[in-house]
């Protein structure tokens, strides 16, 4: 029986690497979520390996291509298993933004101070408009400088005094006379409640993995 041409075996070997590169690219437009750092790392590894094997793989025999395809597919599965929890968390977080935005609009009063602590939910400005807008930006704090919105050059400077440097800064803000609304990950309310013995916080809403609480 005739054997398939040699290039078909190389295509089979390289196809898992193509998936390693393509999947992280498709996640943001398909799911409206930022690809986790693990997926970006996977894409970089896949791109390098794809280029290397596309060049060197021309010398591989049929058996070597088969073995390579199996090994690469297993590595790809390991990457998928490692990245799935963080991707699932991102997707679940995005799914709960609509009711969170509705709760924020319903409870916001003119003059309130708004804080996003731990992370800025990317879809929240859309669902919470006009509470969050270009002219009414929240305070930000407790979030890494390599994540949205700080990962873009110059954004840290643009937010200026709206960036809370540490937990003490948020506690001081919560202790003031002005009403403060805080959007944060689950568990943040209990964490800061212990620091506010003289001024108890009020849990406004808990939606998925997000919490909305206020000073009164």
Please tell me which residue, 150 or 26, carries the higher pLDDT value: 26
- Average pLDDT (126-153) is 81
Give the angle 210-86-95 at the CA atoms, nearest 5°.
40
Once rounded to an integer, what is the mean pLDDT over residues 71-76? 86
- Residue-averaged pLDDT of the chain: 82
- Residues near 14 by Cβ (< 8 Å), separated by ≥ 6? 50, 53, 54, 57
**Does residue 59 or residue 188 have the better pLDDT?**
188
pLDDT tens figures, 8-45: 888 888 888 888 888 878 776 666 556 667 778 888 88
Are 174 and 180 in contact by the 8 Å Cβ rule? The answer is yes
Is the alpha carbon torsion for 71, 73, 75, 78 positive or negative? Answer: negative
- Quick check: 117 pLDDT over 80? yes
């Amino acid at each position: 029986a005739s054997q398939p041409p040699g290039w078909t075996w190389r295509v089979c070997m390289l196809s898992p690497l193509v998936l390693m590169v393509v999947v992280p690219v498709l996640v943001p437009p398909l799911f409206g979520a930022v690809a986790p750092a693990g997926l970006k790392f996977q894409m970089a590894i896949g791109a390098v390996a794809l280029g290397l094997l596309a060049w060197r793989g021309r010398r591989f025999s049929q058996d070597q291509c088969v073995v390579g395809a199996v090994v690469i597919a297993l590595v790809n599965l390991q990457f998928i298993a490692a990245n799935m929890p963080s991707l699932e968390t991102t997707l679940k977080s995005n799914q709960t933004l609509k009711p969170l935005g509705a709760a924020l609009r319903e409870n916001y009063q003119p003059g309130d101070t708004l804080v996003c602590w731990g992370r800025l939910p990317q879809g929240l400005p859309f669902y919470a408009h006009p509470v969050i807008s270009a002219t009414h930006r929240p305070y930000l704090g407790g979030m890494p400088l390599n994540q949205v919105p700080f990962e873009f050059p110059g954004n840290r400077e643009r937010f200026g005094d709206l960036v809370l440097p540490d937990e003490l800064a948020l506690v001081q803000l919560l202790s003031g006379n002005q009403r403060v609304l805080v959007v944060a990950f689950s568990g943040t309310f209990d964490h800061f409640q212990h620091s506010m013995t003289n001024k108890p916080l009020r849990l406004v809403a808990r939606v998925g993995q997000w919490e909305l609480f206020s000073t009164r």
